[in-house]
Structure 1
Amino acid sequence: MEAQTQSKRILFFPLPLQGHINPMLQLANILHSRGFNVTIIHTTFNSPDPSHFPHFNFESISDGLSAAEASTKDVIALLSLLNVKCAAPFQECLARLLSGEEPVACLISDAVLHFTSEVARSFELPRLVLRTGGVSSFLAFAAFPVLQQKGYLLNQDLRLEELVPELPPLRVKDLPVIKTSNPQTLYQLVEGMVKETKASSGLIWNSFEELEKPALATLMQDFPIPIFPVGPFHKYFPASSSSLIPHDQTCISWLDKQESNSVIYVSFGSIAAISDIEFLEIAWGLADSKHPFLWVIRPGLIRGSDWIESLPDGYLEMLDGRGHIVKWAPQQEVLAHPAVGAFWTHNGWNSTLESICEGVPMICMPCFTDQMVNARYVTHVWKIGLQLENGLERTRIKIDIKRVMVEKEGKEMKERAEHLKEKVNKCLQQGGSSNKSLESLVCYILSC
């Protein structure tokens, strides 16, 4: 089959956010290993470093974002702008790439970049979609019209704990919304994503059948297109080098000195932000837990602060080496380290999946969109973590860390997490669900 793919090129277009770039480039690596040639189309905003991927071609297009637009904290406004401003430059880029002698098999674009559907259609180029989140959260997005109609998305504060019978086990507070200056913009973005995904030539998931079987069954009923759950992507190859922030490797040598299953790893991803008060409660909760901790505090995590200047005087000295703080960590390597006993996470899909793959229980602190859905599944479906709810308070943090790290409840979570880790390993082996799905995807692309 590899000989057939050698003359075929696949175009990839990732959404320019860290949590979306990583899985797209991982998928590109997977398909390149099957013999396809790869071209990455990317915006100038948050562009990946081509030197990390010398085996790929890179095509940069203008995103037309002003400095103010590119630095906005309103993620939904940013994504909506990208869907408008990238259309013409993408069309010009596609015209140039398709005029060459090398045949292009298809485009694989991020689901959020829904404008690519119409452009690809104008060239009669098959467009497959990569949805970088989980299947369960996508079903919640697809249900937005019903949720709007039934009033779940408005006046949420009055009914946060109420169950949503259309999407068990979600509560109103678990629905994947995000604060934006114009909520209608969010609904339009989701509508475009869902509609153009349904109209695509196929849908690829960074997930695996054994993890989200009921959600996949529901999806296949509602989306009559080929569906390929081929994840977890990062397990096909060693950790990728697509991070937009340099890794601090000192955390690995620090972990090497810690006892097995003793460390709480804390990281809230590349976008989430917390207040100064929340930061201090987390700091004291970690200190009072008496457990060693590795804490990723990226610049910009604390609103109004550059980095860790808000820490109380003498805090790090008081810990006497029990805490290690870095700006960014090689997360896959950290989670695979035997010293790590729990992961305090924002529950982005990549982080959730990476934790599952290493059998590490989670302390969940979701911030927005699909993170709330992921956290609910971690705690109430897979039962491999607990969720911090109703605000951050140091005593509560200390109690919840003890529940996961020391008590019987935490040991049971660890057992279930290890069981899921075994399922990950099986799904990737010859004849496993993801392995078979990947073979089907390769055959399908060759037939496009």
Structure 2
Amino acid sequence: MDANDKPHAVCMPSPAQGHINAMLQLAKLLHSLHDFHITFVLTRLNFNRILSTSAGDELPPFCNTVQSDDLINQPSSFDVLPDFRCEAIQDGLQRSDPNSGEELSELCDSVRNNLADHFRQLVKRLNHENRGPKVTCIVSDTYSSFTLDIAAEIGVPDVSFCSVSACGFWGFYCFKELLERGIVPLKSEDDLSNGYLETCIDWIPGKSMRLRDFPSFVRTTNPNDSVFNFCKDESENAKKANAIIINTFNDLEAPVLDAMSAQLPPVYAVGPLTLMCDKIRDAALKNFRFNLWQEESACLQWLDRKANGSVVYVNFGSMAVLSSEQLVEFAWGLADSGREFLWVIRSNMVSGDLATLLPAGFSSAVTSERGLLTSWCPQGEVLMHPAIGGFMTHCGWNSTMESISRGVPMICWPYFGDQQTNCYYACNEWGIGVELGNDVKRKDVEGLIREILGGEKGKEMREMTLKWKESAIRSTEPGGKSFMNMEKVIREVLLEDNKHI
């Protein structure tokens, strides 16, 4: 196919590490398996961080940078491959640090108020330059719905890509009705501890849940809470998309997917994307990642020295923030468990110098051969490693999908957002996780690590995780439901004019 005749998808992730990761997997699949020209859009802050963390890497994308007036003295684009380009747009954010949970309100305000005009200008430029084909479709994160009006202006389909779980999205989507029924906002801070969060919400199509199992942004007393209203409005806007793609598989979330399909545009479950991406043959594209932190791969060599199933992997994602007290409890729980562990501690996960925050005696209690601390790691490769026997996680959806895809049971410590909902399903519906309470105690950490790596409950969870892994693999194989859904959404929505079929 001539380069200028290819379908051209502009991919707009929400500007947080987990959303970027998921959208990149989808973009890789469109490019590698379906011959799409890709423009992948990052916000300025994340774009510059990715360039800085990749400095010195022998990767092809950063050798082709183009200067732009709107990013003075900064590159504004680079080529991953000849038909796969990354572009930056202004975001209005000035922080040099990566995103964290403490900055979420600022991030939501930026998406809502700052990105639309810059994205519109980018799409117009792409349609008037001679470097590639005209834009034929937009794939936007469900929480970047500002693209919908722009797609309508240029007359192309806009598919909403839901990078959270179906159950998490459905929780966000119900925010509007929770508000209308007077269930939220909370009447006072007392409702956080007086049993009100145990209220059963039994009118939700697909699944009844306690209020505490909804995405955590319901736990506000402020009717004008910016994050609550952002998630409510963005989820509601998904109704305007031509279709919704979601990184899950039918066997795992069938009741919720059915409920979504009854009220929303066509819903296509195409996951786990981790397994779909295993089919990409181009090694350079398959292994390419956008990281907001410098990746340290030495942990893989450390894991090579460990026995199968002997290591617990600890990673609370890209946005969780720990108090110094929580850090100490986790540290002693890991030390006292007597088990080997790999612990990811981001530079902005705790406030202060990590060396001084770790408890006295921790280093002498844990040798470098029993415990390894790292600031960021190639998680996909870590979870594939046979040495990993359990995953202590925040229950972000990418992490949950990767854990299922690799057959690794979870110790769940949700931080915020849809992670509470994912935790509920993992522990109570899917049988692949056990929850660690928010009030972290070292004895609980120790006990759950021992259980997941050697106890009867851990054995049961491992068996269930392997069953879900087998189901996920079947779904992503040719003829499987996710595989067919991917083919269908491309044929019926992204290529709706049939010009490129």
Q: TM-score range by the shorter chain?
A: over 0.9
Q: Does 1:313 align with 2:356?
A: no
Bigger drift between 355-364 and 76-85 goes to 76-85
Bigger drift between 4-13 and 350-359 goes to 4-13
Aligned to 2:234: 193
The structure 2 residue matched to 1:89, chosen from 94, 118, 121, is: 118
Aligned to 1:220: 261
Aligned to 2:282: none
* Long gaps (5+) in structure 2: 52-60, 63-78, 279-285
Q: Distance in 2 between matches of 1:95 and 1:21?
A: 23
- Per-residue deviation at 1:312? 2.3
- Per-residue deviation at 1:153? 4.1
Cα-to-partner distance string for 1:397-427 (whole Å, 9 max, x where unaligned): 2122222222211101100001111111111
The structure 2 residue matched to 1:166, chosen from 183, 187, 203, is: 203
Aligned to 2:140: 109
Aligned to 1:58: 86
Q: Distance in 2 between matches of 1:332 and 1:103?
A: 34
Give the match's secondary structure for 1:46. helix
Cα-to-partner distance string for 1:330-354 (whole Å, 9 max, x where unaligned): 1111111111111000000001110
The structure 2 residue matched to 1:229, chosen from 269, 282, 292, is: 269
Bigger drift between 88-97 and 409-418 goes to 88-97
Q: Distance in 2 between matches of 1:139 and 1:308?
A: 41
- Verify the 8 A CA contact 2:108 2:226 in the aligned structure 1: no
Q: Does 1:124 align with 2:155?
A: yes
Number of residue equivalences: 445
Q: Distance in 2 between matches of 1:366 and 1:263?
A: 21
Q: Does 1:8 align with 2:1?
A: no
- Change over 3 Å in CA distance of 1:243–1:184 after alignment to 2: same
- Verify the 8 A CA contact 1:114 1:192 in the aligned structure 2: no
1:432-443, aligned counterparts within 5 Å?
A: 432-443=480-491
1:291-370, aligned counterparts within 5 Å?
A: 291-302=339-350, 304-320=351-367, 321-370=369-418
Aligned to 2:26: 27
* AA aligned opposite 2:81: P
Q: Distance in 1 between matches of 2:312 and 2:334?
A: 9
Aligned to 2:460: 412
- Per-residue deviation at 1:123? 2.3
Give every structure 1 segment of 4 or more consecutive aligned residues whose post-TM-superposition deviation is greater than 6 Å.
2-5, 68-72, 179-182
Q: Distance in 1 between matches of 2:185 and 2:166?
A: 20
- Verify the 8 A CA contact 1:12 1:107 in the aligned structure 2: yes
Bigger drift between 348-357 and 115-124 goes to 115-124
- Verify the 8 A CA contact 1:98 1:104 in the aligned structure 2: yes
Aligned to 2:44: 44
- Change over 3 Å in CA distance of 1:188–1:162 after alignment to 2: closer
* AA aligned opposite 2:233: G
Q: Distance in 2 between matches of 1:257 and 1:116?
A: 48
- Change over 3 Å in CA distance of 1:93–1:173 after alignment to 2: same
Q: Percent identity?
A: 33
* AA aligned opposite 1:63: D
The structure 2 residue matched to 1:75, chosen from 92, 104, 108, is: 104
Give the structure-1-normalised TM-score. 0.93
Q: Distance in 2 between matches of 1:105 and 1:115?
A: 17
- Verify the 8 A CA contact 1:344 1:362 in the aligned structure 2: yes
Bigger drift between 391-400 and 58-67 goes to 58-67
- Per-residue deviation at 1:446? 1.6
* Long gaps (5+) in structure 1: none
Q: Distance in 2 between matches of 1:245 and 1:60?
A: 18
Q: Distance in 2 between matches of 1:301 and 1:185?
A: 23
Q: Distance in 1 between matches of 2:5 and 2:119?
A: 25
- Per-residue deviation at 1:247? 1.8
Bigger drift between 163-172 and 362-371 goes to 163-172
- Per-residue deviation at 1:91? 1.6
Give the structure-2-normalised TM-score. 0.84
- Verify the 8 A CA contact 1:134 1:349 in the aligned structure 2: yes
- Verify the 8 A CA contact 1:127 1:202 in the aligned structure 2: yes
Give the match's secondary structure for 1:53. strand
- Per-residue deviation at 1:18? 0.4
- Verify the 8 A CA contact 1:262 1:340 in the aligned structure 2: yes
Give the match's secondary structure for 1:392. coil
- Verify the 8 A CA contact 1:137 1:373 in the aligned structure 2: yes
- Per-residue deviation at 1:162? 3.1
Aligned to 2:496: 447
- Per-residue deviation at 1:169? 4.9
Aligned to 1:151: 183
Q: CA RMSD in A?
A: 2.3
- Verify the 8 A CA contact 1:109 1:127 in the aligned structure 2: yes
Q: Distance in 1 between matches of 2:428 and 2:121?
A: 47
Q: Does 1:98 align with 2:127?
A: yes
- Verify the 8 A CA contact 2:297 2:378 in the aligned structure 1: yes
- Per-residue deviation at 1:174? 1.8
Q: Does 1:269 align with 2:317?
A: yes
Q: Distance in 1 between matches of 2:99 and 2:453?
A: 38
* AA aligned opposite 2:396: G
* AA aligned opposite 1:162: T
- Verify the 8 A CA contact 1:107 1:126 in the aligned structure 2: yes
Aligned to 1:397: 445
Q: Distance in 2 between matches of 1:447 and 1:201?
A: 10
- Change over 3 Å in CA distance of 1:212–1:255 after alignment to 2: same
- Per-residue deviation at 1:61? 1.6
- Per-residue deviation at 1:309? 2.6
Q: Distance in 2 between matches of 1:381 and 1:38?
A: 37
Bigger drift between 4-13 and 78-87 goes to 4-13
